[in-house]
Amino acid sequence: AYSCMRVHNGSNSEAPEPHPIGRHIMTISKARIVIACAATLALPLAACADPQAAPTGAATTSAPGATPSSVPAYDVSDIPTVDEIAALVPTDVKARGTLRNGASADYAPAEFLGDDSQTAQGYDVDITRALAKVMGLSEGTTTHAEFPTIIPALGTKFDVGISSFTITSEREQQANLVSYVEVGSAFGVAKGNPKNFDPTNPCGKTIGLQTGTAQEDYARELSEKCVAAGQDKITIMPHDLQTDITTKVIGGQYDATFADSTVIGYTASVSGGQIEQVGDVIESAPQGVAINKDDAQLTAAVQQAMQYLMDGGYLADILARYGAQDAALTSAQLNPATNE
């Protein structure tokens, strides 16, 4: 149960509502749930990114600077192992010595493939390694997986899913979720907004979105409202990779893209300003580390390790390397949506 949209601009003031179609939008990152309230509309939507294969094209694009750039791995050597937390780690994980993370590596700056098109990078990748260090494990690894397959593989193929999972009560029925960041959503356009895209009235516009995300679901519902209001439908262009969308926006084929605010901000940076945010960041929501619902022992270890990273400033340091330090939370809560 969420309220309608308030822009996230450093205050809790209500945003102006200049257009009946674009009013009262609440979008919550790659978990990806949206609640839109247009007139009497109140539609909770949830979806997941669904790349069909490992994103081998993630580091190939014709748009200069649009490709995520390799970032050196965060140095976790100075992060101490906490014995009391290490004692909580399940025997099989401890014996393996590795914390195995599954992530859909197509969502910079949280998780993406580096210059070699093979090595997973991003703040979620660094956080996995930092958690492993606190838990007394030799390493934390991140393997690309199609987004919808990650939670079902927890406890078998993966120990954790750290892949921009927005925390919802529905998702908490599938896995335990430990909060660590809070992220909003935003529209991105080509430099100078040459298509005159108005985020409060996207009717008749062409918007590039990642396949299977809640942003895609929201756009389809909003397009229906446009038509019902006598306006042109939204042309929705889904892609598996955000980099492909960026190329289309820069090239003028699409009017805008819609994604996590961190994604838009990072894309603006690596594109050399060829992509820029338009409009406010829409109200944010927490994202969490997913752990098998039946693994109370690993859940406790991850929650305490994440709190340690928060308290020691390590989480903020990791996020700062990707320009996302403001997303850091200070309390690692377990299943906060259920507890609201």
pLDDT tens profile 267-298: 888 888 999 999 988 767 899 999 999 999 99
Mean pLDDT, the chain, as a whole number? 81
**Candidate from 128-132, 204-208, 220-224 with smallest mean pLDDT:** 220-224
58-72: burial string, b at 16+ Cβ within 10 Å, e else: bbebebebbbbeebe
Beta carbons within 8 Å of 210's beta carbon, 6+ residues apart:
30, 49, 106, 107, 216, 238, 239, 240, 241, 242, 245, 259
pTM, rounded to two decimals: 0.71
Model confidence at 216: pLDDT above 50? yes
Model confidence at 337: pLDDT above 90? no
Report pLDDT for 61: 31
- Cα end-to-end span (Å), the chain: 9
| pLDDT, tens digit (0-9, with 9 covering 90-100), for 160-195 | 999 999 898 889 999 999 999 998 878 999 999 999
Beta bridge partner(s), residue 107: 111
Model confidence at 114: pLDDT above 60? yes
Beta bridge partner(s), residue 190: 275
Average pLDDT for residues 146-152, to the nearest whole number?
Answer: 92
Is the separation of the CB atoms in 228 and 198 below 8 Å?
no
Model confidence at 56: pLDDT above 60? no
| pLDDT, tens digit (0-9, with 9 covering 90-100), for 291-331 | 999 999 999 999 999 999 999 999 999 999 988 888 999 99
The number of angstroms, rounded, from the C-alpha of 147 to the middle of its chain's C-alpha atoms is 11
Average pLDDT for residues 134-151, to the nearest whole number?
Answer: 95
Report pLDDT for 207: 97
HSE of 169, CA atoms in CB hemisphere, 13 A: 7
